[in-house]
Amino acid sequence: MKRRDFVKVGALGSAALITNSCSNISSSNNEQPILLTKSKEIKVISTWVSGIDANKEAFQILKSNGSSINAIEKGLNITESDPENTSVGLGGMPDANGLVTLDASIMDHNYNCGSVTYLQNIEHPISVARKVMEETPHVMLSGKGAYEFALEQGFKHKNLLTDSSLQKWQEWKDKKTLNLPVINHENHDTIAMIAQDENGNLAAGCTTSGWAYKKHGRVGDSPIIGAGIFVDPEIGAACATGLGEAIIKICGSHTIVEQMRNGLTPEEACKVAIERIKKSSHSLENLQVGFIAMNVAGEVGSYSMYSGFDFALHDENRAELIKSNYEFEWE
């Protein structure tokens, strides 16, 4: 059964609630938004080098007149099924207890959104998040409830812990220091994506297995609408990657969209979010965060705390990996 009409109204109310809860860290919501003309040029951006293959799949969907939300789901499915990527889905690094727990979120151009947290044994959490968005009156399902819902929707149980990831976890556990690995360009925890279709409609999504060896039960920014992803149909979209705890504190993606509302470019808006993380964090040591953004005019940008962050761009003219501007060099 599809989401009822009154739920659509409720989704708008939820979006308003997110906006109000973030009002202390974003610009005035009473200001009129900067009016931008929607681009009709299809385009995809996503975080890190793994975004290249994900973008390729997403772009083919857009080129076949597909919607931005379809492009997001199918593009991120590629990364979720890659056992060599230890930050997402199959082959994802386990938590401190040796369990692979997944988070994902998705949002379209009508404020519809869905997410899952602490999902186990399901290969495609981004697809489950979309089902939450389209088939329930809810925004987020978690843990056992998310797993049971996935089975009801036809998803299959699958062991996601590969031999390689299991071995790395065992080596970490045997060290007995139990220090968490640094999140950087060699060890990050997310793929996030923004797509614009031929109608100018934006969508965003994020999927992750989270911080390697995290405390059992930990959830980061990725499944939180307004932190990991956010889309405003009048303005643009933003996504985050990196240390989720820091991103949650400033409602990172929502902050960026609000800055674009006030006239900043995507890169300038991402930089504002990084500045706010600097102010809200007790220590910046090993605190890597990266943001990507796209406005409705099709302009893109990124910014990160430290060097090493890059994002993939795919449009009619190019498919490439772009190094992000940043605040600090890794020492």
Digit-by-digit pLDDT tens for the chain (331 residues) are: 544 443 444 444 444 444 444 444 444 445 566 678 999 999 999 999 999 999 999 999 999 999 999 999 999 999 999 999 999 999 999 999 999 999 999 999 999 999 999 999 999 999 999 999 999 999 999 999 999 999 999 999 999 999 999 999 999 999 866 677 665 555 555 899 999 999 999 999 999 999 999 999 999 999 999 999 999 999 999 999 999 999 999 999 999 999 999 999 999 999 999 999 999 999 998 899 999 999 999 999 999 999 999 999 999 999 999 999 999 998 7
Q: Is 35 inside a domain boundary?
A: no
Q: Is 139 inside a domain boundary?
A: yes
Q: Is 268 inside a domain boundary?
A: yes
Q: Is 197 inside a domain boundary?
A: yes
Q: Is 227 inside a domain boundary?
A: yes
CA dist 97 and 78 (Å) reads 27
pLDDT of residue 27: 45
**Domain CATH for 189:** 3.60.20.30
Q: Is the pTM of this model over 0.75?
A: yes
Q: Active-site residue numbers?
A: 190
∠ Cα 71 228 320 (to 5°): 50
Q: Is 8 inside a domain boundary?
A: no
- As for how many domains the chain has, the answer is 1
* Domain residue limits at 277: 41-328
∠ Cα 37 52 106 (to 5°): 60
Q: Is 71 inside a domain boundary?
A: yes
In the sheet where 202-208 sits, what is the strand order? 140-142, 113-119, 102-107, 202-208, 191-196, 43-47, 310-314, 319-323
pLDDT of residue 36: 87
Q: Is 121 inside a domain boundary?
A: yes
pLDDT of residue 14: 44
